[in-house]
């Protein structure tokens, strides 16, 4: 589980539990009298409008943790309280991830259970191993060689962006400042 000293997700993301306090707020909702579940139609519509296709989790090349951070942020901006997250959860999914959600009736589960289910299904040990190999193969010289038209500072920014992207795909135990700084130094 992420702690306050982790990088880069610590200030934004608490995996699979309640979202961080900055994403929680109160909201108003109607109630579905047959199921006694809140209906957040206005908030759900707002969330659907805000989401772009690139922000959705597709399982193929994304980090579930990173896409869940985006989901928390969008829900906060739309005014959706935590108890409505499971209602809008499918909005953040596409492709195989969305198919998996519906095929396994994850809407009947608690939000945190649905998140755990998706994460464990798509991001097991093989996923972390594959991304650790990519992380270890990333170095500054390869970035420079692939982008000969870029200035050094632009290539360095590309390196940082790539490492931050891969960082979300590594096991949570590797989400530390020390691990990131070590990689940055060795990559250069």
Query: What's the confidence (pLDDT) of residue 171?
Result: 82
Do 18 and 24 form a contact (C-beta atoms < 8 A)? yes
Specify the pLDDT at position 41.
86
Chain CA centroid to CA 73, Å: 10
pLDDT of residue 8: 38
Length of the chain: 188
The DSSP 8-state label assigned to residue 155 in this structure reads H
CA distance 26 to 40: 12
Rg for the chain (alpha carbons), in Å? 18
Q: What is the pLDDT of residue 129?
A: 86
Nearest to 71 by CA among 98, 49, 89: 89
User: What is the structure's pLDDT at 19?
Assistant: 53
Structure tokens at 56: 């959705």
Look at residues 188, 184, 183, 185 and name the one whose alpha carbon lies nearest to residue 144: 188
At 103 the pLDDT is 93
Q: What is the mean pLDDT, run by run of 10 residues, along the chain of 188 residues?
A: 38 44 45 54 92 89 87 95 93 93 92 91 84 91 95 94 86 86 90
Structure confidence at residue 9 (pLDDT)? 37
């Amino acid at each position: 589980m992420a702690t306050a000293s982790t990088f880069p997700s610590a200030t934004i993301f608490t995996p699979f539990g309640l979202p961080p306090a900055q994403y929680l707020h109160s909201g108003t909702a109607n109630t579905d009298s047959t199921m006694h579940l809140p209906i957040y139609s206005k908030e759900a519509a707002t969330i659907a409008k805000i989401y772009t296709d690139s922000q959705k989790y597709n399982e193929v090349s994304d980090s579930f943790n990173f896409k869940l951070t985006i989901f928390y942020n969008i829900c906060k901006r739309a005014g959706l309280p935590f108890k409505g997250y499971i209602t809008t959860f499918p909005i953040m999914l596409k492709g195989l991830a969305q198919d998996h959600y519906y095929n396994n009736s994850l809407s009947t589960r608690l939000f945190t259970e649905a998140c755990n289910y998706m994460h464990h299904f798509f991001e097991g040990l093989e996923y972390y191993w594959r991304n650790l190999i990519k992380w270890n193969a990333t170095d500054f010289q390869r970035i420079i060689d692939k982008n000969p038209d870029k200035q050094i500072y632009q290539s360095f920014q590309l390196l940082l962006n790539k490492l931050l992207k891969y960082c979300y795909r590594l096991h949570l135990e590797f989400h530390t400042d020390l691990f990131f700084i070590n990689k940055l130094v060795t990559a250069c």
